[in-house]
């Protein structure tokens, strides 16, 4: 029986992989030892033509359903891993059928939560990681996506200008609807609370929680953050006609959260004394889309915000406020951003992705300037950062060589 491969764009080299072997028996020569999270299925990272694929062994109906769900999430520009193929019709050497495989593209610079917590982190890093999951869940719910199995284990995290961005990595139970009911959202929150509390208890068992911290209470706070963000994005606000400036204030708050307001619904009372305002259509990615339009850089939202701030400072510093924004952005890209990111030695470039590297260099320059009491040239900041900071960072794109299940966890959660 021949293989049945459903792929968006088939790489012929995929046919050479040992599909007649159970995934857990694949030879080391094919594998990339990237950190893996906890999964109920066998998952392996595979090297293929300079890329890394994530392959999950799963029943064929579930593989095809998840493949289509991930495609739909990507079409909606939601943060989820990219599906590549479903490989079915697998038979081992004895003629026995094997489960199908779902093939996705590994998300560069991403880490499962156990790998994040295994690194040396600032006290609030764990809180920011969990905040990223709350933001991801809100984004999915706004688009009508019912996740069904919300957990840290089903999420990947990427650094985003000092914060984290969360990506959905497991969509087995996800469903897309025109709009979610309150009951569907509450079910996701109920599952999220139980799963997150359990995962934090695992950290506690490993000695990773500060004494006195309660995993259930921490999970309660995460749910509270979700509700605050959801209310900010969808809640109705009522104010007097003389306070119309609050319309702009509401939009600014939403933009600062990384959401655009495409439409507002405004109604007045019968006597015209009060106005009610409610965002009707909101979407994430305000800053990243602007940066993409100006420079072609495709980065996370907080990274985009930081890069745009530097672009705006460059525009003001060169007295070019009246020039075409796209022309100034091109000059900034070729004269500032690219020279800085390329000045890092090649052997250190896999430590962080370019946008995060640029952000950290700007932060380092600020710290040096504050310490010395005067502005530091960017070239000096790059030199000092490369010499004193970058070599100490973990190699987030490289092969780590161990499972995260075997990594001792040293994180401390402070929420």
Angle formed by the axes of helices 125-142 and 215-234, to 10°? 40
Residues 346 and 245 in one domain: no
Question: DSSP character for 17?
Answer: S
The parent domain of residue 77 ranges over 4-105
Report yes or no: 134 and 226 within 8 Å, Cβ to Cβ: yes
Residues 197 and 132 in one domain: yes
Is the pLDDT score of 177 beyond 90? yes
Last residue of a domain, one of 284, 302, 320: 284
Asked if the structure places residue 404 within a domain, the reply is no
Report yes or no: 294 and 311 within 8 Å, Cβ to Cβ: yes
pLDDT in tens, 227-284: 988 888 787 777 666 565 676 677 777 766 656 555 556 666 666 556 565 555 455 6
Tokens of 340: 């800085």
Residues 228 and 242 in one domain: no
Q: Which long-range contacts (CB under 8 A, 24 or more apart) does 79-84 make?
A: 79/136, 79/139, 79/165, 79/166, 79/167, 79/168, 80/167, 80/168, 80/169, 80/171, 81/54, 81/105, 81/106, 81/107, 81/156, 81/167, 81/168, 81/169, 82/107, 83/8, 84/7, 84/8, 84/9, 84/53
What pLDDT is recorded for position 406? 43
Residues 268 and 350 in one domain: no
Asked if the structure places residue 101 within a domain, the reply is yes
Distance (Å, whole) CA 210 – CA 193: 20
Report yes or no: 219 and 195 within 8 Å, Cβ to Cβ: no
Is the pLDDT score of 120 beyond 70? no
Asked if the structure places residue 407 within a domain, the reply is no
Distance (Å, whole) CA 81 – CA 76: 13
Count of domains observed in the chain: 4
Residues 221 and 134 in one domain: yes
Asked if the structure places residue 12 within a domain, the reply is yes
Residues 120 and 220 in one domain: yes
Residue with token string 């933009």: 255
What pLDDT is recorded for position 410? 36
Asked if the structure places residue 55 within a domain, the reply is yes
Of 226, 161, 231, residue with least CA distance to 196 = 226
Residue 181 maps to which CATH number? Answer: 1.10.510.10
Asked if the structure places residue 401 within a domain, the reply is no
Residues 372 and 318 in one domain: yes
Question: DSSP character for 97?
Answer: B
Last residue of a domain, one of 233, 251, 275: 233
Residues 268 and 165 in one domain: no
pLDDT in tens, 67-115: 999 999 999 888 899 999 999 999 998 989 999 999 999 888 788 877 7
Residues 139 and 193 in one domain: yes
Tokens of 248: 């702009």
What pLDDT is recorded for position 325? 83
Strand locations in 179-336 (E): 237-240, 259-268, 274-284
What pLDDT is recorded for position 36? 61
Asked if the structure places residue 402 within a domain, the reply is no
Residues 295 and 381 in one domain: yes
Residues 155 and 50 in one domain: no
Asked if the structure places residue 322 within a domain, the reply is yes
Is the pLDDT score of 179 beyond 50? yes
Residues 314 and 334 in one domain: yes
């Amino acid at each position: 029986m021949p293989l049945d491969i459903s792929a968006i764009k088939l790489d012929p080299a995929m046919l050479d992989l040992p599909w007649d072997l159970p995934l857990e028996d694949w030879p080391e020569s094919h594998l990339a030892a990237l950190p893996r999270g906890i999964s109920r299925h066998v998952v392996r990272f595979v090297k293929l033509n300079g890329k890394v694929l994530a392959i999950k062994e799963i029943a064929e109906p579930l593989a095809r359903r998840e493949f289509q769900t991930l495609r739909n999430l990507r079409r909606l520009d939601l943060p989820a891993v990219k599906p590549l193929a479903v490989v079915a019709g697998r038979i081992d050497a004895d003629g026995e059928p094997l489960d199908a495989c779902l093939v996705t593209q590994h998300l560069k610079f991403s880490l499962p939560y156990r790998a994040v917590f295994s690194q040396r982190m600032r006290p609030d890093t764990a809180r920011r990681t969990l905040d990223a999951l709350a933001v991801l869940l809100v984004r999915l719910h706004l688009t009508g996506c019912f996740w069904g199995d919300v957990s840290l284990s089903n999420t990947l995290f990427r650094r985003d200008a000092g914060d984290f961005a969360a990506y959905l990595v497991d969509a087995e139970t996800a469903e897309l609807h025109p709009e979610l009911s309150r009951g569907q959202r509450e079910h996701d929150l109920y599952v999220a609370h139980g799963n997150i509390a359990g995962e934090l208890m695992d950290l506690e068992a490993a000695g990773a929680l500060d004494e006195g911290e309660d995993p259930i209470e921490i999970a309660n706070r995460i749910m509270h953050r979700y509700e605050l963000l959801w209310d900010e994005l969808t809640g109705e606000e009522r104010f007097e006609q003389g306070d119309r400036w609050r319309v702009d204030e509401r939009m600014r708050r939403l933009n600062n959260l990384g959401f655009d307001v495409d439409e507002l619904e405004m109604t007045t009372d019968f006597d015209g004394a009060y106005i009610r305002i409610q965002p009707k259509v909101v979407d994430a990615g305000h800053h990243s889309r602007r940066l993409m339009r100006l420079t072609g850089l495709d980065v996370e939202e907080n990274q985009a915000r930081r890069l745009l701030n530097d672009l705006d400072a460059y525009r003001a510093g060169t007295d070019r406020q009246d020039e075409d924004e796209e022309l100034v952005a091109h000059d900034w890209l070729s004269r500032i951003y690219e020279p800085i990111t390329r000045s890092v030695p090649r052997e250190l470039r896999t430590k962080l992705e370019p946008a995060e590297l640029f952000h950290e260099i700007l932060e380092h320059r600020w710290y040096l300037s504050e310490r010395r009491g005067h502005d530091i040239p960017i070239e000096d900041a790059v030199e000092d950062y490369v010499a004193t900071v970058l070599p100490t960072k973990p190699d987030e794109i490289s092969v780590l060589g161990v499972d995260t299940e075997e990594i001792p966890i040293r994180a401390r959660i402070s929420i």
